Structure 1
């Protein structure tokens, strides 16, 4: 005849010993291992504290409608210089040799393509009048922007984008297509940042040539911890030939304000959150193993203890 369980109650086994005993020492060591070993594993693998973290964000970029244009000519015949210059800064233009200045016709606009309230793209066209037989060998454009992050890190700064290209052929047009990239030499701190770049006038005096002034500004800008530039996949497309007898040169610029990857120093609570997850996930495994070892040691009386058995009712 088979037996059925009519009633059951749990049995509690207590293993007791004095404070100064091998059993107490074993228990103390096992608890120390249980606490320290997970920390050692985490620290030796990837580190307990998260020193750098990453996030994707679409920055708020705005064109400041400021521009510097430097053009090198290959066959110069009409002006006593091989350079054409124009800037959007009247004070700076007044300091230049007026024979170097050539004012382009400029149209530009920023578009919000996904209608999220932030601009996604800058479209800009510069049409430069040329004298007969003038041929362009290189073009450098410096565009000025404000760059802002708001979601994960508060950052607002002035920035410059340098567009530069060269050609050996006679060309009538240069098309530039690319994405703006954020450059950082150190992780972003987790507090609010405000950077204001120096003006071009801060690098200019009456004895400076325009190129040396711009070189000083760009050197100072690129030496900053945080700056902007064009991504490496940017395209510079030269169109060969002339504009059917029209003495002009066209520069088309299409810059995308795309999402970018930023690395930053996480704050206190973010650091604790990830440290706790890493530690606890290993702690529960080590705890389970040590509990099995304790059960084996005490059950087999490897260390002498007093065994006291008691029952526990369902109401307790």
Structure 2
């Protein structure tokens, strides 16, 4: 004949001790360790405070129709320089034609790519050996962070063989040395001009100053095709297609996001700590390692 539980009652056992006793001091130490050790573990493992976070966003990018082309030729004394920018320097006016296409293919208000074609005219005795092309953009993000800046893309290529055409393909990418401090009300603006020609070695100076910026853009996933040989009557052609893909943005999280992440880390270790120290207290008091007054309730 099988039996069933029809009623149950637990018997309580309480272990009591005065405040000034070894038992109470041991209880206080165990209680403090239960809550402090998980905090120290999370803090020392760099997992408690969220220092930065990332997300992806497709930026709003627009070519400002400002460019600088610096071409080194077989005539080392006179490179070919041309461009379209507010502050001009003495240029050779060798860029006869430039074609620019920016297109929003999915009609979301953001351009997807830049298709640029530039024709460089030379005289009958000069071969093109090296190209440096600087393109200036307006770069904006606005989903979680309001940020805008004037940025640059540099295309460099050289060859020991005279060329007739340069094809370049790549993706515009964001470079960050510091995370953004995001705000939905106050946009962060970096509008310092890039193309400055005050120093004699102005191209090196432009590169140096741009490399110091905490936020900039560059061309990634670059594919280059250098076509050698051309008729002297034909211009040197530079054709580039730059894709405006989504970029990874690093930012400083706000207070509540930091606390949410900290609580998740702390609570996960606190559960284990409570379980372990509960077993320790049971062993210490039930084995009478310290003196206590036992009180049983029916």
The alignment partner of 1:146 has SS state of strand
Aligned to 1:236: 224
Residue pairs, 1:290-305, within 5 angstroms? 290-305=277-292
Q: Does the alignment pair 1:197 with 2:192? A: yes
Equivalent of 1:173 in 147, 165, 168: 165
CA distance in 2, matches of 1:72, 1:134: 10
What residue ranges of structure 2 are gaps of 5+ in the alignment?
A: none
**More displaced 10-residue stretch of structure 1: 45-54 or 161-170:** 45-54
- Aligned 8 A contact 1:148 1:156 in 2: yes
Q: CA deviation at 1:47?
A: 4.1
Distance verdict in 2 for CA 1:199–1:187, change over 3 Å: closer
Q: Which residue of 1 aligns with 2:209?
A: 220
Within the candidate set 172, 182, 188, 2:180 is matched to 188
1:43 equivalent in alignment to 2:43 = yes
Residue 193 (structure 1) shift: 1.9
Contact 1:59 1:147 in 2 (8 A): yes
Q: Distance in 2 between matches of 1:6 and 1:174?
A: 89
CA spacing shift, 1:260–1:71, aligned 2, 3 Å: same
C-alpha distance 9-215 of structure 1, shift in aligned 2 (>3 A) = same
Structure 1 Cα separation of the partners of residues 226 and 2 of structure 2 = 94
- What's the CA shift for 1:287? 0.2
Say which SS state the counterpart of residue 95 (structure 2) adopts.
Answer: coil
> Is the contact between residue 125 and residue 252 of structure 1 (CA under 8 Å) also seen in structure 2?
yes
Aligned residues: 295
Q: CA deviation at 1:32?
A: 0.8
- Determine which of 138, 146, 156 is the counterpart of 1:146: 138
**Residue pair 1:74, 1:82 contacting (<8 A) in 2 also:** no
Q: TM-score, length-normalised on structure 1?
A: 0.84
Matches of 2:269 and 2:62 in 1, distance apart?
A: 48
Q: Residues 91 and 285 (structure 1 numbering): CA distance in 2 closer, same or farther, change over 3 Å?
A: closer
Q: Contact conserved, 1:131 with 1:247, CA < 8 A, in 2?
A: no
2:90 matches 1:96: yes
Aligned counterpart, 1:59: 59
Aligned match for 1:123, one of 115, 123, 147: 115
Determine whether 1:252 maps to 2:239.
yes
Alignment of 1:1-80 (within 5 A): 2-75=2-75
Q: After superposition, give the CA deviation of every residue in 1:105-147 in whole Å (9 maximum; x if it has no partner).
A: 1111112344433222111111223322321111111100111
